[in-house]
Structure formats: C-alpha cells, structure tokens
Structure 1
C-alpha cells in the first residue's frame, strides 16, 4: 500500500468588507499533510476585539471559493453546505485568534484555505434602531 503526500495551501483572504491582509496572519503559509493525518492552521489579527467573527473558506482548483465555517469566541461554529465539524473542527477562544483543522487529510482536501475576519455589526439589535415619528 502506498502513502501519498497531499498539499493543503493556506493563503490570507483580502476582500472588501473584511480585514486587510496585512493585519491578518495565517500560519503556516503552506501546510503539508500525510494521507489520513490531521492538518491544522491558525489565524490571528490585530484589528481589536470588535473583529471577533472569523470565517474559514476553501477553494479547490478550478472551483469558486466556498465558506466552510463561521466562528465566534466560545460558541459553536456555524458550518455551510456539506461541511461539518467532524471533518473541519475549529477552536476560537478569543476575538483575535482561532484555528481550523482538516481531519484525516485525503486527496479531495487539496486546495487553498483562507481565513478572514469581520467586525461585528449589531444591525439586528432592536435597541440600536430609532423609531420613525408618525405624522398625522
């Protein structure tokens, strides 16, 4: 039986509405994993505690980018589509950092994995809205 080496490449996402790449650090920058081993990457930023929402994305060769998970400190991560915590567990205990793991790496896991952070917005908070005066 042969053991194959698969590459998981890690890059920083820079997009409108998200933190500029120079303020987000993702390590390692290139992640290698042996078949059936786990591969972990870490993400941190220097934007402050208001930027506590962390997003993890995957882009396979020839495909568009897909959101894997949204994490917030000390909360259960929200997974998109067919992605699950069993395959892609996350840890986020504070606002400025988090980690993402690809469990039991296989050929289909090859691709680019991105971390991005976003500032929390309380637009759904009823106390942050003002009532429009009624005219008679």
Structure 2
C-alpha cells in the first residue's frame, strides 16, 4: 500500500511520469455549479481488471481513494465515500464514466482514473474540477465600429475653434508652398527653352 501511495505522489509531482497512451481522460477542466452533477470520462486501450478513481485533496495534500470498478460493473468504495454521490457508468468495455452528483465546494480537486497492468500503475492525465455557487457569465465582445468614408469639409462653429482640417491655418501654407514651387519651375523652363533655341540655331548655321 505504501508503494502505491508513493507511486501516486510521483505521478502528481512529475507530469507524464505515469501518463500513458493506453489511458486517456477527458475533459481537462470542469467548472460546475453547486448541487448540479458532472461526469469524467476515462478510456482504456488495453485489457484490464478494472478502473481505480482517486482525488487529490489540495487542502490535505494527499490522495483520496474514491472507488474501484471492475469489468463486471461492481464497485468497491473507499472509506467515508458516499455511494449516492459517486458512481461509475461503463459506456463500453474500454470506456468508463465517473458520475459525481450533488456537487459541493468540498468536491473540488484533481480527479484521476487509473489501471494496473503487470505491476505497473497507469494514471490518466487528470481532470480539475471546480465548484462555484454561480457560474460566470460569458463576456460579450464589443462590435468594431464601422469605417466611414472621409467627409467633405464642413464649416465649423466658432466655438469649435479654427484648427480643423478645413481651417485656413492648414490649407493657406500648403497653397503658398505650391505657388512658390510653381514660380521656381517657370524660370527653369525658360532657360531650357532658350538653350534649346541656341542649339538649334548653331546646328542650322553649320
């Protein structure tokens, strides 16, 4: 018995120490409401004599043996374990479901299914069960605002100020810059035109 508890402790402290592809456990997490019920599924891929169910008690820092269910459907319960609260339902020869009824806060913990083969203990990945009085409501996402096309400039009131995109403080410097650029281009164009005429005259004189 001491060896079994030592093995369970190693399985808890070292994730993957006892986990095996021959045994799967779902779901990973359950959040249930008080006085409701829930189920944990355990599936095996090899022949076995039965399935053990354990619970890791975080407060007491120890494993609690819940029950053992053999392949014939008969169950053996641990000390002070209620048969009305815990029961195993065999959905098939390789699939077992632990049913937990009338949930209370004391039922919270990490649940493991386990099988024993050739003096080897194979442990499931575990299911963390949380029990609350009120389930949290799903958060509603705020829809993204619709993208609007840029509107034309509209006159603003005096109270709004004169710093908008249509303000003279914005477009007057831009217009002045464009005018200066245009004036600087005109002399260059004239010089280019004169140089072109000179070259044309020289060619014809020759």
Query: Normalized against structure 2, the TM-score is what?
Result: 0.46
d(CA) in 1 for partners of 2:101 and 2:39?
8
Q: Which residue of 2 aligns with 1:55?
A: 52
The secondary structure found in structure 1 opposite 2:86 is coil
The 8 Å contact of residues 52 and 95 in structure 1, kept in 2 or not, is answered as no
Tell me which residue corresponds to 1:76. 74
Q: Any stretches of 5+ residues in structure 1 without a counterpart?
A: 1-12, 122-136
Q: How many residues align?
A: 105
Alignment of 1:24-35 (within 5 A): 24-35=23-34
- Partners of 1:94 and 1:113 in 2: CA distance: 21
Instruction: Work out which structure has the larger RCO, using CA pairs closer than 8 Å and 6 or more positions apart in sequence.
Output: 1
How far does residue 115 in structure 1 lie from its aligned partner after superposition?
Answer: 0.5
Gaps of 5+ in 2: 1-9, 13-17, 120-206
Which structure shows the bigger proportion of residues in helix conformation? 2
What does residue 42 of structure 1 align with? Answer: 41
Which one has the largest radius of gyration? 2
Name the structure 1 match of 2:83: 85
Residue deviations 1:95-133, cap 9 Å, x none? 422110111111111111111112389xxxxxxxxxxxx
SS in 2 for 1:65: strand
Q: What TM-score results when the alignment is normalised by the length of structure 1?
A: 0.67
Distance across 2 between alignment mates of 1:58 and 1:81:
13
Q: Deviations over 1:17-63 (max 9, x none)?
A: xx7433211111111211110011100021x22x2310000112132
C-alpha separation between the residues in 2 aligned to 1:35 and 1:113?
Answer: 17
The 3 A distance-change label for structure 1 pair 87 and 99 is same
- The structure where strand makes up a greater share of residues is 1
Secondary structure of 2:102's counterpart equals coil
Distance 1:79 1:21 in 2: 25
SS at match of 2:89: strand
